[in-house]
Chain A
Amino acid sequence: MAVNLKQLTQHEELLTGGHRACAGCTGSNILRQIMLTAGQNTVVGGATGCMEVVTTIFPYTAWRTSFIHSAFENCAATVSGAETAYRALKKRGDLPREETGRKNFIAFGGDGGTYDIGLQSLSGAMERGHNMVYVCYDNEAYMNTGIQRSSATPLGAFTSTAPAGKVKQGKEQNRKDLTKIMVAHNIPYVAQTTPFHWKDLATKVEKALAVDGPAFLNILMPCPVGWHFDTAIGMQLAKEAVESNFWPLFEVENGVYKINQKPKERSPMENWMKQQGRFKHLFRPGNEAILENIQTYVDEQWEKLLKLEEMTAK
């Protein structure tokens, strides 16, 4: 399953340009890369959120494959319905067109639509075993409605609903580890990646689509508006999120963990955070303890991940 950049670039673009994502958005890039791998015979469902809003506005659409949006919290259930319909129609010879080859079903949602309001719908669809891939593009807040905190927002980050002020210093909780929650569903394939790591991403999309049953991809999506950074550096931040161990590249295939990239020496979280306005307040005097907590948490999570890899090695 070797991914070849030259080949990928020759695939048809299924997410067209001209959509209305912000300058420097890495989310449209994620979708574009996924679609290059998935191909035309794909049904895509999107949860309410930035990516659905910027790719469809009547009478326009950026989708060259079929696309459905129903609501914020139900993307997994909606796509599970389409996938079931496909099986039912196929069984009876009722499909609109004779088909050869694989049909892909991809559902995507932001972290709000996935970690929070859509978690039940996602959990149900994964447990039922539908042949579909759920992609969370994780920009670590509800961006579409104005940067409110979600359960994916990291400790200390400034959001509109958990701002930094005289007595509060941004979000007071650590982020939820959704990827592991998905691993606990014992589905065939779960992975984390970023849009910077195009080869890793394409390989994981390919693997996720190939498995018999459900798969889940969690993809970090640096957001210039919500994270407050220069529009040019989104991809750089995706890269550094991996180098700091904040967002490890790993996959879990049939329960076996594999870390796809192990930094020789992890870079300190501060380096990554300093480039993002959402963490600016943490560098004021008096907030050293929070910075320390953030670093400790990331290091602990990394250690746990290493152990999981060791424990599940075959």
Chain B
Amino acid sequence: MEQKLVALSGNEAVAYAFKQARPHVASAFPITPQTEMMHKFAEFVANGETETEMILVESEHSAMSAAVGSAAAGARTFTATSSAGFALMWEIVYVAASLRLPICMALVNRALSGNINIHCDHSDSMGGRDAGWIHLFSENAQESYDNAVMAWRIGEHMDVRLPVMVNYDGFIISHTADALHMLPDDAAYDFIGKYKHAYTLLDPENPVTVGPLDLTDYYFEHKASQLATYERVPGIVQSVSEEFGALTGRTYQFCEEYAMDDAELVIVVLGSSAGTCKDVIDEYREKGVKVGLLKIRMFRPFPVQMIAEKLAGRKAVAVLDRSASFGGQGGPVFMETRSAMYGQQVPVNNYIYGLGGRDFDLHQVEEVIDDLQKVAAGEELQLINLLGIRS
């Protein structure tokens, strides 16, 4: 398929992808760095490029609530937020997943307060990791766009019916112009398809009661059925990705492998930092160091099997977390990865980095790879480390 090469910021790219899905309804409330994405979308609406009805609510809590009402009414629906906005939605984030509503949300990752900070980290997304959404992470504007096109297909699949969150790093991706290939509008819509509801509030001849009181006798069964759904998600993500790959030439796995074939040392990371890691890995490879990268694209459901397989037999693994778990044992990506590797003899260390948008630079990656070499040589290093903080 012929695709236009364009230069867009991540926010613009995602706004385009969402427009191409021809959503019926979008709800929104401003928060940096998500704002631009909704500005762009509002422009499309103002210019008649999409017939989407926008609900310009008075808070993110209402943005998610209105999205739930809209999706339950049987409309293709999206919203977008960052940081505090996502935190304010939290209660309803669970409701959206539990009511099996395939809402799409752009989560432009930003640190949580306090203190207040507008820059990138993943603490917002990680705070909602048990809420039942599918979490896709993006390395650059291209992946943000691609995720934002595929998200609809994944969430709306009748065997899934779950909300999908497209994560991309605040400012680093959202506000940086990047070259990417975009599908023509019609081709994107053909791929995404016309919206089909699983249930709707709007058919007076088939009334439904949604969100009833659900106590000790049934709630658990409902959760069991929800839990079973996540087992089905990876297969569907894979088939959607393959179809997308056939159309665009860009095929995605749950994790991207970079220089992994013979890698003895492996870095595990999410989001834009993968690009920085790849550069440094190239340098080390030239020096003969067998280091590779496993970039997780789908954090929820967590691709346990793939991660366990890809890390098995390596000499050392470093997991990078752009969020902390206060009082926990390392960051969330570390906890999940180490747990996936249970029973393996591979040493795994954790690096918390980039909180509040602290630059993630080449030196930090070098530090990690140097550590990996030491660990591979048998040295025991600290389990949980902070990267790039002042002494």
Contact = CB atoms under 8 A, between A and B. Distances in A.
Interface string A76-118: 0111111111111101101111010001000000000000000
Interface string B209-238: 111111100110010000000000000000
Contact of B95 (A40, A70, A99): A70
Contact of A80 (B59, B66, B75): B66
B211 A97 contact: no
B203 A96 contact: yes
Nearest to A73: B61
B91 interface: yes
B157 interface: no
B177 interface: no
Contacts of A69: 210-213
A83 B208 CA distance: 16
B284 interface: no
B20 interface: no
Interface residue range, chain B? 35 or more
B77 interface: yes
Interface in B49-80: 51-53, 55-59, 61-62, 65-75, 77
B62 A121 contact: yes
A59 B91 CA distance: 23
Contacts of B203: 66, 96-97
A91 B212 contact: no
Given A74-B62, A97-B204, A124-B57, A82 B212 contact: no
Interface of A is mostly: mixed
A89 B24 CA distance: 7
Interface centre among A42, A43, A56 (most CB of B within 10 A): A43
A57 interface: yes
B188 interface: no
A85 B213 CA distance: 25
A63 B92 contact: no
B212 A57 contact: yes
Given A84-B25, A97-B203, A77 B209 contact: no
B327 interface: no
B386 interface: no
A68 B61 contact: no
B69 A77 contact: yes
Nearest to B59: A120
B69 A68 contact: yes
Contacts of A57: 212-215
A71 B91 contact: yes
B195 interface: yes
B41 to A, nearest CB: 14
Given A87-B53, A96-B197, A82 B205 contact: no
A85 B202 contact: yes
B86 to A, nearest CB: 16
Contacts of B66: 77-78, 80-81, 84
Interface residues of A, number: 52
B29 to A, nearest CB: 10
Given A66-B209, A71-B91, A94-B195, A79 B69 contact: yes
Interface string A35-63: 00000111101000000110011111101
B7 interface: no
B211 A70 contact: yes
A68 B24 contact: no
Contacts of B207: 63-67
Interface string B232-258: 000000000000000000000000000
A197 interface: no
A80 B201 CA distance: 13
Contact of B70 (A40, A84, A128): A84
Contact of A89 (B59, B91, B202): B202
B61 A88 contact: no
A81 B65 contact: yes
Contacts of A80: 55, 57, 62, 66, 69
A123 interface: yes
B34 interface: no
Given A87-B53, A88-B24, A92-B51, A67 B209 contact: yes
A82 B72 contact: yes
Contacts of B56: 128
A91 B214 CA distance: 35
Contact of A124 (B51, B62, B208, B212): B62
B70 A85 contact: yes
B27 interface: yes
Interface string B31-61: 0000000000000000000011101111101
Nearest to A43: B201
A129 to B, nearest CB: 11
A67 B204 CA distance: 11
Contact of A95 (B25, B62, B202, B219): B202
A81 B67 contact: yes
Nearest to B54: A84
Contacts of A59: 218
Given A92-B24, A96-B197, A128-B56, A63 B73 contact: no
Interface centre among B73, B92, B218 (most CB of A within 10 A): B73
A76 B24 CA distance: 19
Contacts of A124: 57-59, 62
B197 A82 contact: no
B24 A40 contact: no
Interface in A150-205: none
A86 B204 contact: no
Contacts of B25: 81, 84-85, 88
Interface of A: 40-43, 45, 52-53, 56-61, 63-71, 73-74, 77-89, 91-92, 94-97, 99, 103, 120-121, 123-125, 127-128
Given A84-B25, A89-B74, A97-B204, 15 more contacts: A58-B218, A67-B207, A68-B211, A70-B69, A77-B57, A78-B66, A80-B66, A81-B66, A81-B73, A89-B202, A96-B200, A96-B202, A97-B205, A120-B58, A127-B58
Q: Which 4 pairs, one residue from A and one from B, show the smallest C-beta to C-beta distance?
A: A81-B69, A124-B58, A56-B212, A81-B66
12 contacts: A41-B204, A43-B202, A64-B207, A71-B92, A78-B65, A80-B57, A81-B55, A85-B53, A85-B69, A97-B204, A121-B59, A125-B62
Interface of B: 24-25, 27, 51-53, 55-59, 61-62, 65-75, 77, 91-92, 95, 99, 195, 197, 200-215, 218-219, 222
